[in-house]
Amino acid sequence: MEAPLIIRRKRDGLALSRDDIFSFVERYMRGEIPDYQFSALLMAIYFRGLDARETADLTEAMMHSGQVLDLSGFPQAKVDKHSTGGVGDKTSLIVGPVAAAGGLMVPMISGRGLGHTGGTLDKLESIPGFNTRLTLDEFRRVLGAVGMGLIGQTDDLAPADRRLYALRDVTATVESIPLICASILSKKIAEGIDGLVLDVKTGSGAFMKTLEDSRALAERMVAIGTACGKRVKAIVTDMSQPLGCAVGNALEVIECIEALKGRGPHDLMDVSRELTAHMFVVGGAETSLEVARTRFDSILGSGLGLEKFAQSIREQGGNPRVLDDYSLFAAAQFEDAVVAPEEGYLAALEAETMGRASMVLGAGRERLDSVIDPAVGLVLEKKVGDPVAAGERVCAIYSNDRSRVARVREMIREAMRISPEPVTAPTLLLAELGESSVVRGP
């Protein structure tokens, strides 16, 4: 069917056939359909939606726009974890090593941070020498040697997503559940996985701000991933305050190393345990979530997770001595602090503003070409629910440019709320969606 007819069908709210979807993507990638026609289709999808079958077809069309990794020669179950992004969200560096130490293969292809959310690649690159730009052959070799690999998106895997994401970004069509699903799942399924565990964040620091929207995204991703033949689980977790204490690249890696040594903050450990346990179940390494959680704890307790991370760093060209000597990480020149203005209980440390504050310090990216400072960031010394005395430190600010600190301090004060009444810490694990979840309409 001609491109204008396909656009018209979607504009009028009709379903597109699998052939229409595949041919639209294929012709776009060959340069036969221009950006303006795909933009029109994206806008029609934004308003009219895609049903579950159309979303699965779009996911597959985007996945087949490049190579699909074949990891079938390796005996392990291949399971990845994907988070929709948040502030201080660093679970990949805990979940990956523990899952690989537990016998899964974890092929993680991650993104860079943009805006107030951090990206796994930026964190990894704060490890001296760590190379995230492996070719797919090198990635396969690392996966074979370690059982896990951590690299950035390449032009070979789901290239249609990169082009379409750029188009969505400038046509105000990013916030569409079927387009988000197809974007994330096309890249993940191209990694050659058998299963996927999704951490859909909800709250001020997340892409989806309400529980209802986050649930809808999680449900749809589970349904589409399942329709594409993968075992998929999703959990919805809180992102109203940063996860863990550190926000900033080297600071977050150090927090993950501490976590692998069994000394991580409770919330970070709880989310990491839950994600890893689901990965064990999805990968068939365990049948019960209860036992899978115990397995996470015992791998951590035995030091095998830390050992796996050391092996991963070594195989990707990094210096594994960072695990014992944190002075090998870039360190910020200045330390300041924000203190509690009055006595009470910490009632909010609003995640999005905290993420923006760390971006002002240079820990995040305002634009795609912004340069990251690996050393700077924030460390929360109190979390929501903690009692505070007047003048007590709530958050440390690590900077290399003192002129930015006043603004950052102001932002943290804006993000912080103190209540005279006791406050309960937010519930971390808000929903769990699995193979039995219902496919909803557009």
255/276 Cα distance (integer angstroms): 18
187 part of the active site = yes
Q: Which is nearer to ligand URA, 236 or 250 (CB)?
A: 236
In the complex, least distance from residue 84 CB atom to ligand URA, rounded to whole angstroms = 6
With CA atoms as reference, report the closest residue to 244 among 377, 390, 151, 334.
377
126/142 Cα distance (integer angstroms): 20
Q: Which is nearer to ligand URA, 82 or 356 (CB)?
A: 82
Residues 6 or more apart in contact with residue 137 via CB below 8 angstroms: none
With CA atoms as reference, report the closest residue to 139 among 112, 182, 105, 183.
105
183 part of the active site = yes
DSSP, collapsed to helix, strand or coil, labels residue 231 as: strand
In the complex, least distance from residue 309 CB atom to ligand URA, rounded to whole angstroms = 25
In the complex, least distance from residue 153 CB atom to ligand URA, rounded to whole angstroms = 9
Q: Which is nearer to ligand URA, 199 or 255 (CB)?
A: 199
Q: Which is nearer to ligand URA, 111 or 385 (CB)?
A: 111
Contact set for ligand URA, span 117-176 (CB under 6 A): 165, 174
70 part of the active site = no
Query: How many CB atoms lie under 10 A from the CB of residue 330?
Result: 13
CB 90 within 8 A of CB 176: no
Q: Name the catalytic one among 82, 90, 273, 308.
A: 82
Comparing every residue's Cβ against ligand URA, the nearest one is 183
Q: Is 42 in the site for ligand URA (CB under 6 A)?
A: no
Q: Which is nearer to ligand URA, 150 or 184 (CB)?
A: 184
Number of residues that bind ligand URA (CB under 6 A): 6
Contact set for ligand URA, span 333-352 (CB under 6 A): none
Q: Which is nearer to ligand URA, 58 or 179 (CB)?
A: 179
Q: Name the catalytic one among 81, 168, 233, 308.
A: 168
DSSP string across 122-164: HHHTTSTT------HHHHHHHHHHHSEEEEE--TTS-HHHHHH
Q: Which is nearer to ligand URA, 201 or 231 (CB)?
A: 201
Q: Name the catalytic one among 20, 122, 161, 267.
A: 161
CB 24 within 8 A of CB 35: no
Query: How many CB atoms lie under 10 A from the CB of residue 191?
Result: 24
168 part of the active site = yes
**Apex 313 CA angle, 233 and 278, nearest 5:** 15
Bridge-based pairing state of the strands 231-238 and 195-202 = parallel
In the complex, least distance from residue 179 CB atom to ligand URA, rounded to whole angstroms = 6
In the complex, least distance from residue 210 CB atom to ligand URA, rounded to whole angstroms = 16
Q: Which is nearer to ligand URA, 186 or 241 (CB)?
A: 186
Contact set for ligand URA, span 288-327 (CB under 6 A): none
Q: Name the catalytic one among 10, 64, 81, 187.
A: 187
94/125 Cα distance (integer angstroms): 16
The contact mask relative to ligand URA for 173-202 (x = CB under 6 A, - = no) is -x----xx--xx------------------
Query: How many CB atoms lie under 10 A from the CB of residue 120?
Result: 27
Q: Name the catalytic one among 176, 183, 214, 272.
A: 183
Residues 6 or more apart in contact with residue 278 via CB below 8 angstroms: 197, 233, 235, 289, 292
Q: Which helix (H) or strand (E) holds 39?
A: helix 35-48
161 part of the active site = yes
In the complex, least distance from residue 244 CB atom to ligand URA, rounded to whole angstroms = 21
Residues 6 or more apart in contact with residue 48 via CB below 8 angstroms: 10, 11, 13, 442
In the complex, least distance from residue 182 CB atom to ligand URA, rounded to whole angstroms = 8
184/368 Cα distance (integer angstroms): 19
- Six-digit token string for 294: 């115990």
In the complex, least distance from residue 171 CB atom to ligand URA, rounded to whole angstroms = 13
The footprint of ligand URA (CB under 6 A) covers: 165, 174, 179-180, 183-184
Active site residues: 82, 161, 168, 183, 187
